[in-house]
Structure 1
Amino acid sequence: MRRPLAALVLLAAIGACADSRAEQPPALSPAKTAAAANLVDIRTLVPDIAEDIKYAGHDNFVGAPVDGYLAPKCLLLRPVAEALARVEHELRTQHLRLRIWDCYRPARAVAHFVRWAHDLADQRTKAQHYPTLDKSQLLGDYIAPVSGHSRGATIDLTLEHCAADGKRCEALDMGTDFDFFDVRAHTDAPGISAAQHANRLLLRDAMAREGFRNYPLEWWHYTLVPEPTPHTLYDVPVQ
């Protein structure tokens, strides 16, 4: 059963988020549409940006489409989308591109993650996403009751290298897949190759030039700093 919004507000008030350090507890926005929340589709700024929105399909750690993802789109607060577009345009001068896995995440999607984490009998994605951890260990650093993604300023992504014509692109080797819950996913993990670490730093440097800060436990996770609405969560569906 989907959590009611009142429960989400309570979670927002009491939850300690792994990727949120705001002193003031976040509150749930009353916005009902993306426009009301000032969320824009990144493709209105970069029409051909590469996307593989994982939570809109089955290829994710839950193993099913996640609540709130009605379409495979990347929505972000406008200032964040504009900064990300600048990253993409700079990378293209180096025959590099971004590939986006997740952007704004509705609060109801985070509640779905928490319900999944409590269902210890569901082990379908263990081999791919958390092979070295017991599922009971995922709540905390990896899955939190409140996510910075719900504030509209956080993105999960990777880098691709493209041919000169920009039509044939291959993902750079980052050492792990997306949403791999393990120390090897830490940006400066000691157990990866020099080339994999260099690729992670290439992404980190490109994002940092436009004000995005990496979450050290996940090489793919970036937040624009300062955030446009650091104390506001959104629950608008992605559609």
Structure 2
Amino acid sequence: MGIMLLALPLFFSCKEVAVNNKEAEDNEIQLKATDTAQITNAKKEELPVPKLKSLEGLADTLFVRLADYSDDFVYDLRYATENNFLKAKVYDCAECYTRVKTAQALLLANKELMGKGYKIKFFDCYRPNDVQYKMWAIVPNPQYVANPVKGSIHNKGGAVDITLVTLEGEELDMGTDFDFFGKKAYHDNLDLPKSILNNRLLLKETMEKYGFWSIRTEWWHYNLGTASNDKVANFKWDCD
């Protein structure tokens, strides 16, 4: 009897451990399922939509490839080359994606500009957060590259770096090249030829009319005003 009495607590102790282990496993499975669902929902928001006839009816935050919705833009996506201030290629291939609402505003701005004999040319569009980390590793200076921990509006699909070209593709003189970091690139630097000031003003006034705002130190950079509260994204397009 003594042996049996000693064995009973051991039996119940083992059973209790087994139950606790089972509960822990169930809780872990539930947590994993919750995490997976959250990740899946985040990924759904980042997935680009296929080419459609129109952007109408699409959620504002979905990503689209701009070239799928217009043939009227020009591209020179510098970070897919070494022709940039980093002197490094940080994109695997050149593509211009934005959120739907950014694309809609760009289409309207470009339509107006084309009526005046010009087109928008892109140097950079949506930038995956992983690319922001690559840029930061090369130039860890917030004066030139946004800290990837916080991210930039480029990472949210709401910023573009652009210039203007004629309908024949000739670039307008903006006074400096893209990513020139100096006072000559500032919007408030009026010590420039009138033709250059007029070119910058045409771009600035048109973009502001369709909801974009500029930054003082870069004539080429425009943020969509409604994009600042969007999530930093890290979706990457396929390179064929």
Which TM-score applies when normalising by structure 1? 0.71
Match of 2:160 in 1: 155
> Does residue 35 in structure 1 map to residue 37 in structure 2?
no
Q: 1:210: which partner in 2?
A: 210
Q: Is the 8 A contact 1:212 1:223 kept in 2?
A: yes
Counterpart in the other structure of 2:55 = none
Native 8 Å contact 1:186 1:217 kept in 2: yes
User: Is 1:99 aligned to 2:157, yes or no?
Assistant: no
Aligned mates of 2:74, 2:216 — CA distance in 1? 24
CA distance in 2, matches of 1:233, 1:223: 14
Q: For 1:44-59, what aligned pairs fall within 5 Å after superposition?
A: 44-59=68-83
Figure out how many residues of one structure are paired with residues of the other and give that number: 183
CA distance in 2, matches of 1:195, 1:116: 35
Q: Conserved in 2, the CA contact under 8 Å of 1:88 and 1:98?
A: yes
Q: Using the TM superposition, give the Cα deviation of residue 194 of structure 1 relative to its aligned residue in structure 2, in angstroms.
A: 2.0
Tell me which of the two structures has the higher relative contact order, counting C-alpha pairs closer than 8 angstroms and 6 or more residues apart. Answer: 1
Contact 2:124-2:160 at 8 Å conserved across structures: yes
Q: Distance in 1 between matches of 2:160 and 2:47?
A: 17
Cα offsets for 1:134-187 (capped at 9, x unmatched) = xxxxx132222132110111010001123xxxxx22111000000111121111
Runs of 4+ in 1 over 4 A off after TM superposition: none
1:25 counterpart residue number: none
Shift of residue 48, structure 1, vs aligned partner: 3.8
Which of 141, 144, 148 matches 1:142? Answer: 144
User: What pairs up with 1:1-239 in 2 under 5 angstroms?
Assistant: 30-31=42-43, 34-35=47-48, 38-66=62-90, 69-118=91-140, 139-145=141-147, 146-162=151-167, 168-227=168-227, 230-239=229-238
Tell me the distance in 2 between the aligned counterparts of 1:109 and 1:117. 12
* Letter in structure 1 aligned against 2:165: E
Stretches of structure 1 lacking an aligned partner (at least 5 in a row): 1-28, 119-138, 163-167
Letter paired with 2:174: M
1:15 paired residue number: none
CA–CA distance in 1 between the matches of 2:100 and 2:179?
Answer: 25
Give the match's secondary structure for 1:220. strand
Cα RMSD for the two superposed structures: 1.9
Distance in 2 of aligned mates of 1:196 and 1:188: 13
Aligned counterparts of 2:169 and 2:75: Cα–Cα separation in 1:
13
The structure with more radius of gyration: 2
Percent identity between the two aligned chains? 31
TM-score, length-normalised on structure 2? Answer: 0.71
Q: Which has the higher helix share?
A: 2
Residues 43 and 231 of structure 1, relative CA distance in 2, 3 Å threshold: closer
Q: Which residue identity does 1:52 align to in structure 2?
A: D
In structure 1, C-alpha distance between the alignment counterparts of 2:200 and 2:73, rounded to whole Å = 20
Deviation at 1:47, TM superposition (A): 2.2
Rounded Cα–Cα distance in structure 2 between residues aligned with 1:214 and 1:236: 25
